[in-house]
Amino acid sequence: NAGVTQTPKFQVLKTGQSMTLQCAQDMNHEYMSWYRQDPGMGLRLIHYSVGAGITDQGEVPNGYNVSRSTTEDFPLRLLSAAPSQTSVYFCASSYSSDLSSYEQYFGPGTRLTVT
Amino acid sequence: GENVEQHPSTLSVQEGDSAVIKCTYSDSASNYFPWYKQELGKRPQLIIDIRSNVGEKKDQRIAVTLNKTAKHFSLHITETQPEDSAVYFCAATSTTDSWGKFQFGAGTQVVVTP
């Protein structure tokens, strides 16, 4: 049971480049989400999904796209990278229908630098 | 939407003393309030959570209290130890209305000095 995995761990992009951050979980969790973490600003929700085929915007969705074609995977796409997207990105998952626990399990994070 | 404010931003305590972190939220529909601990370079991990039908919850040296009327909740750590040094985040969401839209506080850096 690997939990929540993210790839890559580190990435450097040039302004204007696009890329996809990968996130996968093997716990059969319905809920998955993407956060960015910047110093002094906590964790800010980018996009989330409550099940395959269902996604919604969080607090800071601009410049990012997501899709959820399977329960296991929730990739985050940067369409045209900007220096303001330099951050640490965390993926998380949890049960959404298990009334005993709403605990979110976080992946190890991806450190992205945009030059 | 929900807005969560967390105070203080940094907290220094002597080993053995207590630490208290406070969060306020704005959306009265929020009914689930988790606390996460993040050690340097690591991922956030849940340490305790509380639902709106409970006023207090304890787990060994940590406890969380909730005041729904005032819309604030607090994390209490007693008998602090050096391994309690970390950044702590509070969060709020509604499990019924727009489930999954978590709002996190900005975090509190806790430093426990021996």
User: Taking CB atoms and an 8 Å cutoff, what residues of chain A touch B9?
Assistant: 40
Q: Would you state the pLDDT for residue B87?
A: 97
Touching check for A50 and chain B: CB below 8 Å? Answer: yes
Q: Quick one: pLDDT band at residue A41, thresholds 50, 70, 90?
A: confident
Q: Would you state the pLDDT for residue A100?
A: 63
Averaged confidence pLDDT in chain B = 94
User: Cβ B106–A107 below 8 Å, yes or no?
Assistant: no
Q: Quick one: pLDDT band at residue B1, thresholds 50, 70, 90?
A: confident
User: Cβ B99–A96 below 8 Å, yes or no?
Assistant: yes
Q: Would you state the pLDDT for residue B99?
A: 74
The answer to whether residue B38 scores a pLDDT higher than 90 is: yes
Q: Would you state the pLDDT for residue B109?
A: 97
**Chain B nearest C-alpha distance from A1 (Å):** 17
The answer to whether residue A97 scores a pLDDT higher than 70 is: no
Q: E strands of A1-115, at which residues?
A: 4-7, 10-13, 19-25, 31-37, 43-51, 54-57, 64-66, 76-78, 87-94, 105-106, 110-114
